[in-house]
Amino acid sequence: MTPVFQADYLNYVYQGSQAVRFEISDFYLNANETVVLRGPSGAGKSTLLRLIEGSLRDSKNRIEVIQKCSMIYQDLRLVQERTVLENTLSGALEDLSPFSLKFTEAHHKDALTLLQKVGLAKHSHKLVSELSGGQKQRVAIARALMRKPKILLADECFSHLDSQTASEVFALIKDLQVEFGFAFLASMHEPHISWNEFDRQILITDSNLKVVLFRSKFDWVKFLPILILSAIVYSVSTLNYAGFDLSDSFGQAGQLLARFIPASSDDWIEFSWHSSLLSIMTTFRMAVIGTSLGFLVALPMAVLAASDITSPWISRPIRMMLMVLRSVPALIWALIFVAALGIGAMAGVFSLALYSAGYLGKLIYEGLEDLEQKAFKSLRHLGASRFQAFRMSLVPPAKPMLMSHFIFMFEYNIRAASLLGIVGAGGIGQELMYAIEWRRFEHAGIILVLLLVIIFFADQLSEHLRRRLKTKRGL
């Protein structure tokens, strides 16, 4: 028979508190055969599948023959926020140029044909999150076969299915194998399907594992609470408290705050409502434009800064740039732009934009790294470029996170914009500065009330949009 995979020796060393080597010799797969890997959990069945897939590598491996393969993962690794058809098409991303997601008519035809064969043609435009477990399994099969592999790998893909559904899925794979001619290699530690249904059985046991090195690994995380507590104790003990007297502090603070409360109706009548409301609107516009510009700058930089998406040679310099942007306070940026552009709202807009870019960039790239990466990695193993895998698997689940960070930054910038006017960067901050300079504290109090009102409505808008996003995720 024609081998589609052949290796004299395969091994992989697990790095941890002790180094354990998995190894197997004289392993092969022939075209059109079905093989099952049997053995207890932790014996190395998944490791062997990943060595064949290529997601694990070792320089000592001696592989003589290897043809194109696809993996059906135990957790499936589908993009829940995309449709059945989109997930199926993603198996053919390697056929496109690295920066394209535009599939051809032939791709769509092949995907719909596969969905017809797995019994999901009428569900092609449903979100994957709306399907049952057995249906999701069929989508994973269709996606894997879109690559037209010569080897189809399955890592415990029947374990979360009942016996009847597992038998139906296996019968489907056997039918597809007759048509497409791939070798099928599945791992199972429990007989969800009779062993006799397979052409060949391979037993993987603990004898395939060898301890090659014991090591004492220092876990610094355990000492982190002690380090934090030590830093707090040191800071409190060394802080200079000279001249700090609480005996009359609260009284003085209370007297100052009382001056911000309008004492009579005349204070409200004499207040310059027209100019203040115009300044409030200017502040609002500064926050909207500054946040939007900052977001547009931060988003591509955050994608490049995410270590799971790009290489360290790109992510580290971008992170340094973002750190510089957010290290400079918005007030200092405002002074710089006032000197460059003159007094006015434009100086405030650009200062908010740069500070927002640094702040949002960090929030977004950390958010992207915190997203589940399994679907991203599975598409990479199916031949997708980093850009394609990012667009297909990470953008949909990232949308609520992006919107949440944008709204948070917008709320922050409303408050920040109100202070930038102090240095001449426009907005209500200038009115506030004039009121305090002229000792019209009651007018400053009214301005603070107006700011409180606009921030309250911004907060309510934020809550409303977050609720809408949660209901539209389809999860």
The amino acid sitting at 286 is: M
The answer to whether the CB of 189 falls within 8 A of the CB of 39 is: yes
Burial of 416 (0-12, 13-18, 19+ CB in 10 A): buried
Predicted local distance difference test score (pLDDT) of residue 2: 86
pTM of structure: 0.78
Burial of 456 (0-12, 13-18, 19+ CB in 10 A): exposed
Average pLDDT over residues 447-468: 78
The three-class DSSP label of residue 310 is: coil
Residue 83 scores a pLDDT above 90: yes
Contact 161, 132 (CB under 8 A): no
Q: Does residue 17 register a pLDDT over 60?
A: no
- The DSSP letter of residue 222 is G
State mean pLDDT over 225-253. Answer: 75
Domains of the chain in sequence order: 3-214 (3.40.50.300), 259-472 (1.10.3720.10)
- Mean residue pLDDT of the chain comes to 85
Let me know if 309 is exposed, middle or buried by CB neighbors in 10 A (0-12, 13-18, 19+): buried
CA distances from 279 to 283, 286, 344, 430, 437 (A): 6, 10, 11, 8, 17
For residue range 193-229, list pLDDT tens digits in order.
Answer: 888 889 999 999 887 777 666 555 556 677 788 888 8
pLDDT digit string, tens, across residues 171-200 = 899 999 998 999 999 998 777 788 888 999
Chain centre distance of CA 127: 19
CA distance 64 to 59: 14
Nearest to 291 by CA among 98, 462, 444: 462
Contacts of 74 (CB under 8 A, 6+ apart): 46, 155, 156, 157, 159, 160
Give the pLDDT confidence score for residue 355 in this predicted structure: 92
Rounded-to-integer distance, Cα 3 and Cα 183, Å: 9
